[in-house]
Structure 1
Amino acid sequence: MTAATTPRSAPDGDADVERAELIAALATARGALTATVRGLTDEQAGERPTASALCLGGLIKHVAFIEEGWLRFVVDGPSALRYDLPDGVTWADLGAGTAREVPQWAVDHQNNLQMLPGETLAAVLERYERVAARSEEVIASVPDLSAAHPLPEAPWNEPGAVRSVRRVLMHVIAETAQHAGHADILRETLDGTTAS
C-alpha cells in the first residue's frame, strides 16, 4: 500500500483524513477500470463481446460522464443534474421509447455507453484523466463533506431526497468499482486477459 491508501484511524472530525481516503478509494476504482483497456486498439475498445451492448471504451466514457455530473452536483447543486423533458413528452413516453423528441441528456447518456465513429481510446482515457483531476480538486476544496443538495426531480430519485458530498463520493466510488467488474468480464471475453 502507498501512503495515500494506507488505512489509519482518525479522530472524530478529521475531514482531511476522510477526504484523502475517499480520493484514494476513487483512484483505486478508476485504476481497476482503466487497467482493463491496457494494450487494446481503438477497435477492440469499441467491440461488444457479450450479449450486452457494453464495450470497454463506452464503460470508461460512461463512468467519466457520471463522475463529472455528480461532481458538478457537489459544486452547483441540482441544476447540474437536470432531467428536463421536451414539451409534450412524459417519462412514460421516454421509458417506452415512444417519445417524438428525445432530450439531449438522454442522447448523451446513450452515446456515452459506446465508442462513436472517430473516437479513440487514447482520447477517452485523456478525458477521464481530466475528469479525475477536476474531481480531486473539487473534493479537496469542499469545506464540509456533510454539505447536501436536493436531488432533481426524476423517476429514479425519491421525492425530496438529498445527497451529501460524502454520499455522492461513495456513489461514484461504487459505480466506478461496479463498472470495473463489468469491464473485467468484457476484457476476458474479448481476448482472455484477466485482471492481475
Structure 2
Amino acid sequence: MTAEHQATTEQHATEPTATGEHADLLAALAKQRHFLRFTARDLTDEQAGERPTASELCVGGLIKHVTSVERAWAGFIVDGPSAMPDFTKMTEADWARRADDFRMLPGETLTGVLDAYAEVADRTDELVASLPDLSADQPLPKAPWFEADARWSARRVVLHLIAEIAQHAGHADIIRETLDGAKSMG
C-alpha cells in the first residue's frame, strides 16, 4: 500500500459527527480499523495474499472477511435477521463461497480490498451516528453458535464488531510479522 493510498484510507475513516455513547463507539471502531489497515501498509498484492503461518489466513483475506462481516452486521441493525444468511440452511457451496472471504482471489488487489473496506466502514459509521436508540434490538439469525431466540441491540452489535475487528487485527499482525518482521505495535 502506498503512502498516498494510506492517506486516502485514513481520510475515509473520518468519523461522522456524533456525541456521547455514539461517539465513543465510533472512536473504538476507528481505532481497531486503523490497527487492521495498518498491518497492510507497504504490502504488495502478492504479500497480502500470502499465508506464511500454520493457518489459512492472509492479511488481505482478513480485511475482506471483516468487510463482509461488518456489512452483514450493519444490515442486521437495520433489517434484522433477514440481512444475514440462515446458517442452518447453508450448503457446502455456500460455505465454500464464505471461505473465499478469507483469501485474495485472482484479480483482487490490496487497494481494492482496502477501498471496499473503507466504503463499508463509512456506511457503518453513518448508520451508528444516526441511530436514535442504541438499545433497539433484533432477533439473531439462526445459527448453531447463537442462543435460540436471543436478541441483540444495536449497541451489542457494534461492540461485537469492535471485538471482531480487534481479533482479526491481531491475526493480521502475526501474519505481517511473519512475512517481513513489521509489527503494528512495539
TM above 0.5, one fold? yes
| Unaligned 5+ runs, structure 1 | 6-14, 87-93, 95-100
Correspondence list, 1:1-196, <5 A:
16-83=19-86, 101-104=91-94, 106-196=95-185
- Assess, with a 3 A threshold, how the Cα gap between structure 1 residues 111 and 40 changes in structure 2: closer, same or farther: same
The alignment partner of 2:86 has SS state of coil
Kept after mapping to 2: 8 A contact 1:85/1:103: no
**1:92-131 C-alpha deviation (Å, 9 max, x unpaired):** xx7xxxxxx5253x23320100000110000000000000
2: CA distance, partners of 1:107 / 1:83:
15
**Could you report, residue by residue, the CA deviation over 1:130-185 in whole angstroms, capped at 9, with x for unpaired residues?**
00000011111211000000001111111011000000000000000111111110
SS of the aligned residue for 2:133 comes to: coil
* Structure 2 runs not aligned, ≥5 long: 1-13
Superposition TM-score, scaled by structure 1 size = 0.82
Number of matched residues?
170
Greater C-alpha radius of gyration: 1
Counterpart Cα distance in 1 of 2:118 and 2:87: 29
Distance 1:123 1:177, change over 3 A: same
SS at match of 2:152: strand
Please, what is the CA RMSD of the aligned residues?
A: 1.8
**What TM-score results when the alignment is normalised by the length of structure 2?**
0.86
Instruction: Give runs of ≥4 in structure 1 deviating > 2 Å.
Output: 101-104
Q: Structure 2 CA distance, aligned partners of 1:71 and 1:172?
A: 9
**Separation in structure 2 between the aligned mates of residue 122 and residue 52 of structure 1, nearest angstrom:** 23
Identity %: 56
